Amino acid sequence: MFMITHDVDEAILLADRIFLMTNGPQARIAEAVEIDLPRPRQRAEIVKHPHFYTIRNYLVDFLVNRSSELRTQEFDGQGLRYPTPVNPVQLAAAETTTDSTPASPATEPQENLVKFTPKEVRHGSARNAPYPAGCQSP
């Protein structure tokens, strides 16, 4: 199932994986955050779980800080890649066990390229093409 929401708490409650997008225009999926809280989940009880705020703080930090930084990064020209998988609870645990710099998601390029059909390629490159007859630029 695929659902779009702007409510961080709702996303944690319902999802097993949350895809975080960079700021637009030309927004893209940057990370895939694993939500490994036990099911069934209830809104009143989930906030009491010891990992809830670790996950929530990670998501909010991405939305407030890192999403705009990632937006300005250039694409590598090889197409879209599957987003970096992240588990905030494991990152937090790694930070507490090491006294070095904070852990961050892997930045190694993923080899799982997203394949596009010819129609998607044409539409994806339309931003550089002139507008079709009858359409005006924004």
**pLDDT tens across 9-34, in order?**
999 999 999 999 888 777 888 889 99
Over residues 64-80, the mean pLDDT reads: 67
Burial (CB count <10 Å: 0-12, 13-18, 19+), residue 58: buried
Q: Quick check: 26 and 68 in contact, CB under 8 A?
A: no
Burial (CB count <10 Å: 0-12, 13-18, 19+), residue 62: buried
Over residues 96-105, the mean pLDDT reads: 57
3-state secondary structure of 119: helix
Calpha distance 50→16 (Å, rounded): 17
